Homo-oligomer: A and B are copies of this chain.
Amino acid sequence: MDHLFEKTIKTTPIYQGKVIDLQVDDVTLPNGKKSKREIVKHPGAVAILPITKEGKLVLVRQYRKALDKVIVEIPAGKLERGEEPDAAARRELEEETGYRSEKLHYLISFYTSPGFADELIHLYECADLEKGQGALDADEFLDVLEVTLEEAEQMIRDQTIYDAKTAFAVQYMKLKEVGRT
């Protein structure tokens, strides 16, 4: 697939942040022309589709500074340095919702914005939730909601749910539901 590849001539670091780094790569395109690629480096993240014993979906409502908006999402968070994705999924679920479960089931991983970022999200399903012992993380500012599949679908229509991983998770839940009937 050499007719698709770009060759890196030079990498220029622009910014090293707490969550992301930015670099600009000078590249040679497959036709020999030169171009530049703006690339955001991200440590990767996990997201969890948590289902209560009553079959409800647990969601978090939070403010997202990048959007200047409050939206509702499945619990998620970035990987700590050296942390395994399944450990991160258990940690984020409990920190954000107070729930825990032994039944953690890996579903899928996907890049969120392959055009400019390398963020990879690992998505897990977590069933038969139990209330954990710990207090919620004091540095997380969020509300925990428990909704039915129908309520989640309505939240997609009215843009209360407004992000890719959560829309994927709701559709996944719907597919399981349809498969069951």
Q: Which residues does A use to contact B, with CB under 8 Å?
A: 1, 3-6, 8, 14-15, 17-20, 22, 24-25, 27, 29-31, 36-40, 42, 45, 61-67, 70-71, 73, 76, 78, 108-119, 121, 138, 141-143, 156, 159, 162-168, 171-172, 174-175, 178-179
12 A-B contacts (beta carbon < 8 Å):
A1-B61, A4-B142, A19-B38, A31-B141, A37-B65, A67-B118, A110-B166, A113-B113, A164-B168, A168-B171, A171-B175, A175-B178
Query: Do A15 and B18 form a contact, CB below 8 Å, given A113-B112, A165-B164?
Result: no
CA distance A9 to B178 in the complex (A): 48
Q: Shortest beta-carbon distance, A3 to chain B, in Å?
A: 7
The answer to whether A6 and B117 touch across the interface, beta carbons within 8 angstroms, is no
Chain A contact residues: over half helix, strand or loop, or mixed? mixed
Cβ contact of A18, chosen from B25, B38, B65, B168, cutoff 8 A: B38
A162→B15 contact, CB < 8 A: no
Asked whether A27 lies within 8 Å of B65 as measured between CB atoms, the reply is: yes
Bound complex: CA of A3 vs CA of B119, how far in Å? 29
Residues of B within 8 A of A175 (CB): 171, 174-175, 178
In the complex, which residues of chain B have a beta carbon less than 8 angstroms from the beta carbon of A73?
114
Asked whether, in the complex, the Cβ of B67 is within 8 Å of the Cβ of A111, the reply is yes
**Smallest CB separation, A39 vs chain B (Å):** 5
Is the pair A4, B62 in contact by a Cβ cutoff of 8 Å?
yes
Query: With contacts A4-B61, A19-B38, A30-B141 known, is A114 near B71, CB below 8 A?
Result: yes
- Pairwise interchain contact B112-A4, C-beta atoms closer than 8 A: no
Q: In the bound complex, do residue A65 and residue B25 qualify as a contact, i.e. CB atoms below 8 Å apart?
A: yes
Q: Is the CB of B113 within 8 A of A117?
A: yes
Question: Which of B63, B121, B164, B168 contacts A6, CB < 8 Å?
Answer: B63
